[in-house]
A = this chain, B = another copy of it.
Amino acid sequence: MQTAAAVQCKPVCRPMAARPHVARRPAQLAASAAPIARPTFSSTLNQRTLKAGRVASRVVVVKAEGGDKIVVIGLAADSGCGKSTFMRRVTGIFGGEPKPPSGGNPDSNTLISDMTTVICLDDYHSLDRNGRKEAGVTALAPESQNFDLMYEQVKALKEGKAVDKPIYNHVTGLLDPPEPTSSPNILVIEGLHPFYDERVNELVDFRIYLDISDEIKFAWKIQRDMAERGHSLESIKASIEARKPDFDAYIDPQKKKADMIIQVLPTQLVPDEKEGKILRVRLIMKDGKKLFDPVYLFDQGSTVSWIPCGRKLTCSFPGIKMFYGPDTYYGEEVSVLEMDGQFDKLEELIYMESHLSNTSAKFYGEITQQMLKNSSFPGSNNGTGLFQTIVGLKCREVYERITQK
């Protein structure tokens, strides 16, 4: 269990690429505690938060901006699976550059842009790194989370109220003093447990699960921890093994509740491709939902496999294979869109986009435009980037249907 906790202690939600200059810089860390604005507390302190020993976070009533409904989007995923890239693609669709709260703790996990606020649910850890070590639990265990406070604050934010949200400092492993968080148009909660607690889950309007298969997780970890950080293969294997029981017990089952699941799997185009460089990515979309329509390829409800033409789309070996069709997912009817392989020229994506329907794009080529805008992001040449972008458009569709904009 100690090993598992150690793995979890790596920064999991930090939007590294968005603000690389503040990551892991002790000088800034030391300076960070002082300037945080602290509104007056008015509600009862949370017992479990208190037990965690550091911060007292509560709901603060503020005037909601206008009478608009606030939309809550949940993203569940394991750590190190590209959540921050995903979030940048999603928030980018609503405009504005996502930034941490200005003048606040530089280790804040929150990202704010014009319309969206992304909060990391690791901030609701009830136990800090030492606390988990002492209790012998991982950061994935429900015992390490403060679901009461999570519920209370997500509910408050959804009601247009500001809150003092705790901060879990991924660098120190400590719970820093809380930061004031006001209610946005769109609240994104991302982390390990957005749908675990049924009260929190009920507050979420659109549920996304990023499901990285064990093979790909392993390949990515090898790449990062072994090649870039010098860890041994054995230690990587051990950390994955130690982490797996809690992951399987508490994180993985949440995908059943998701509206859309992005599954990342090894390619089927190349036999025994073990490096996780060529991906088969599946976008699983629940059918019959009021707030969004599943994307389809060529013909809604049919089963289609499509190898795009070499004349219209440049793809070096092993090319691209798309699939679309109906399926069931834990007993529910879903539509599945799949992309195996990768493309060479991002601008040619327009050709593939032209055959996708119900994408929620506002104009022909919007997906390609978004992908080009974010072309430096990881996954921009394969299904992860494409489907994250599509999910972003779906977030906008959900937002517009709820607020009737």
Contact = CB atoms under 8 A, between A and B. Distances in A.
A325 B299 contact: no
A309 interface: yes
A38 interface: no
A298 B355 CA distance: 8
A305 interface: yes
A2 interface: no
A301 interface: yes
A260 to B, nearest CB: 21
A301 B305 contact: no
Contacts of A311: 301
A309 B300 CA distance: 8
A309 B299 contact: yes
A312 B307 contact: no
28 contacts: A298-B298, A298-B299, A298-B304, A298-B306, A298-B355, A299-B306, A299-B308, A299-B309, A299-B355, A300-B309, A301-B309, A301-B310, A301-B311, A302-B306, A302-B307, A302-B308, A302-B309, A302-B312, A303-B306, A303-B307, A303-B309, A304-B304, A304-B305, A304-B306, A304-B307, A305-B305, A307-B325, A309-B326
Nearest to A324: B306
Contacts of A305: 304-305
Interface in A307-326: 307-312, 325-326
A285 B40 CA distance: 77
A358 B153 CA distance: 59
Interface string A348-381: 0000000100000000000000000000000000
Contacts of A301: 309-312
Nearest to A354: B299
A114 to B, nearest CB: 37
Given A301-B310, A303-B306, A304-B305, 20 more contacts: A298-B298, A298-B299, A298-B306, A298-B355, A299-B306, A299-B308, A299-B309, A299-B355, A301-B311, A301-B312, A302-B306, A302-B307, A302-B308, A303-B307, A303-B309, A304-B304, A304-B306, A304-B307, A305-B305, A309-B326
